[in-house]
Amino acid sequence: MPVIQLTDRFCAAVKAEQRRQVDWFDSNTTGLHLRVSPGGTKTFALFFRRRDGRRARYTIGRYPELSLASARKRAKIHRAEIVDGKFSGAAAGIRNPRPTVADLVEEYILRHASTKRRGDEIARRLRHDVVVKIGHIHLEK
């Protein structure tokens, strides 16, 4: 993941390696990058951390329909919305800005309990004993 100062001239001239897409990160705007695919498609996107700590990617637009200056403006606007908590997370894969205990239990079941030999029993107990009683409580950071 090379980091460079993106320019209009670079965006117009850059090509992807054969059979591999390349992400060029902008040194001026945090998280903004230009993804170049082997077919020649160039897309601006924003990488950021979701509330649960995982990385997410939000596509801003395609080059040359969207200029570099406009992509930087949109990236700064979206980053400010993310910091303020006003970013609509549906487009970025964020299900709920304030997760509940029930959300945490379902994620645990999906990631960990489903791989266990008795995963169905673990899931049943968690849903019956935990979600019914405290599933509605919102988690705080």
- For residue 47, the model assigns a pLDDT of 86
- For residue 90, the model assigns a pLDDT of 42
Where do the domains of the chain lie?
Answer: 3-84, 101-134
**What pLDDT digit, counting tens, does each position of 109-137 carry?**
888 887 888 988 998 999 899 988 998 88
Give CATH for domain 3-84: 3.30.160.390
Residues 6+ apart with CB under 8 A from 44: 32, 33, 34, 35, 59, 60, 61, 62, 63, 66, 68, 71, 74, 75
- For residue 104, the model assigns a pLDDT of 87
Average pLDDT along the chain, 141 residues, taken 10 residues at a time: 83 82 87 88 86 80 88 87 65 59 86 86 91 86 57
- For residue 112, the model assigns a pLDDT of 86
d(CA 87, CA 97): 9
- For residue 38, the model assigns a pLDDT of 85
Q: Is the pTM of this model over 0.75?
A: no
- For residue 121, the model assigns a pLDDT of 92
- For residue 129, the model assigns a pLDDT of 93
Residue 61's alpha-carbon distances to 32, 78, 82, 106, 115, in angstroms, are 11, 13, 18, 33, 38
